[in-house]
Each structure stands twice: as structure tokens, then as C-alpha cells.
Amino acid sequence: MSLVTNAPTAALAPTPDIAAAPDGWRGLVADWSSDREAFRVSWGKAMMWIFLLSDTFVFSCFLTGYMAVRGATTVPWPNPSEVFSLHVAGADVPLLLIALMTFVLITSSGTMAMAVNFAYRRDRVNAVTLMLLTGALGEVFVGMQAFEWTKLILEEGVRPWGNPMGAAQFGSTFFMITGFHGLHVTIGVIYLFTVAFKLWRGDYEKSGNYQIVEIAGLYWHFVDLVWVFIFALFYLW
């Protein structure tokens, strides 16, 4: 009598999931899709976070370079309280314009947060109104920045290659960093107006997904946060 039994062969066979796992590009897409489901993050929000992370590196390099240049120069750095003062009622008020610019941008961050809240409540009217208000505040900020540049160039004689008030590197670092930030604000305003128009038209009502408003809000809050660092390092240091 034989004591050998037939072992079940089903345990040695590949599972249906492993056998059906695609290879190549389809496998890559399937892996990324499974990650999206695992972390419950939409593609749009994930890509915006990745973009903001890369932009953080760019601004960090700019600000680090500015601090290195300012620390290494032997020529006195211009006094921000004098350079960025406004002549009001017969007196020079230091950093008045910069304080207004900061107030406007921080206020726009609050209106953007309210717009996201109303969008998730399916309140299109208030969401669109607050997004348009946020974009309008962004336009005011860019307008004040243009006035600041005009004053520095025409009245103070500041140039990217030099200025009459101190270290020549002041002009190059200032125009590069504030100009790059102003470009981000301008792009953000266009982005907000575009999303607000599509929201008002009812494009997102059909799909029932208003997450695009939150994604636009992520970008706008990032722009506001970067300005806090620029304000501290350029105008207060």
C-alpha cells in the first residue's frame, strides 16, 4: 500500500491577481492608480503638491543666494526703511507701501479659503464672488508692486547692475526675487479668474467635483506664504 498522496497543485499555481498583473506601461499606470486609491489623493491635487514642492526649491535657492550675497558683500547694504519709504503729508513713512501690499495679499488668502468652503457646499454664487475678489486683490498687489518698481527705478535710480544707495547686488537680487514672485501672482490671478468663470458657467456642477477650487487655493496660499519670507528677508532684515 502506497503512503504517498497527491499534493494539491492549486497552492503552487499563481494567484489570479499576480497572473493578471500587467507589465510595461500598463503595469506602471496600474501601480500609480493603486497608489492614488491607497492614499485617497486625486491626480490634480497630487500634481499641484509636486509642483509646489519644486517651486519651493526654486524660491529657496533664490533666497539662500540673496542671503549669501548680502552676507559676503563689503559695501553697506541699503537701509530698507529709507529705500522703501513713502512721502506722505510732508513726512517719509517707512515701509508703508510694503505693509499695504502684505495686508492685501494676506487678506486674499482668507477670501480664497472662504471660496473653497463655499465651493464644497455647492454654493456657486458665493464661491465665484470670493474667487473674483481674491483675484482682484491679487491685481491690486501686482499694481502696487509695479508702482514700487517704478519709484525705485525712476526716482531712486536703482538698476539690476547697481544703485546709488549701497551694494550693487541689491538691485539684481531685489528685481529677480520680487519679479519672480510677482509673475507667480499674475499667473495665479489668471488661474483664479479662469476657474471662477468655469465655476459660474456650471462646468463642475455636471461632475459634482469642486476640488479644482481647492487646488487653485493651494497655489494661492503658496504664493502668499512665499511673500511672508520675502517680506521678512528683504524689507525687515
- Check which CATH number belongs to the domain holding 228 and give it: 1.20.120.80
Structure confidence at residue 74 (pLDDT): 87
Q: Does residue 7 belong to any structural domain of this protein?
A: no
Q: Does residue 32 belong to any structural domain of this protein?
A: no
Residue 72 pLDDT exceeds 80:
yes
Structure confidence at residue 19 (pLDDT): 42
Structure confidence at residue 209 (pLDDT): 80
Element (H, E) at 87: strand 85-88
Q: Which residue has the cell 520675502?
A: 230
Tens-place pLDDT, residues 173-229: 999 999 999 999 999 999 999 999 999 998 887 777 889 999 999 999 999 999 999
Specify the 3-state DSSP secondary structure of 66.
Answer: helix
CA atoms within a 13 Å half-sphere pointing along the CA-CB vector of 229 = 15
DSSP conformation class of 93: E
Q: Does residue 166 belong to any structural domain of this protein?
A: yes
% residues pLDDT > 90 (the chain): 53
Q: How many domains does the chain have?
A: 1
Task: Provide the pLDDT confidence category of residue 17 given band limits of 50, 70 and 90.
Answer: very low
Helix axes 169-201, 43-72, angle to 10 degrees: 160
Beta pairing class for 91-94 and 85-88: antiparallel
Residue 202: which domain range? 38-235
pLDDT: which is higher, 167 or 105: 105
Q: How many angstroms separate the CA atoms of 147 and 61, rounded?
A: 27
Q: pTM of the prediction? A: 0.81
Structure confidence at residue 16 (pLDDT): 43
Q: Does residue 26 belong to any structural domain of this protein?
A: no
- The residue-averaged pLDDT of 120-134 equals 94
Structure confidence at residue 38 (pLDDT): 47
Q: Does residue 16 belong to any structural domain of this protein?
A: no
Q: Does residue 11 belong to any structural domain of this protein?
A: no
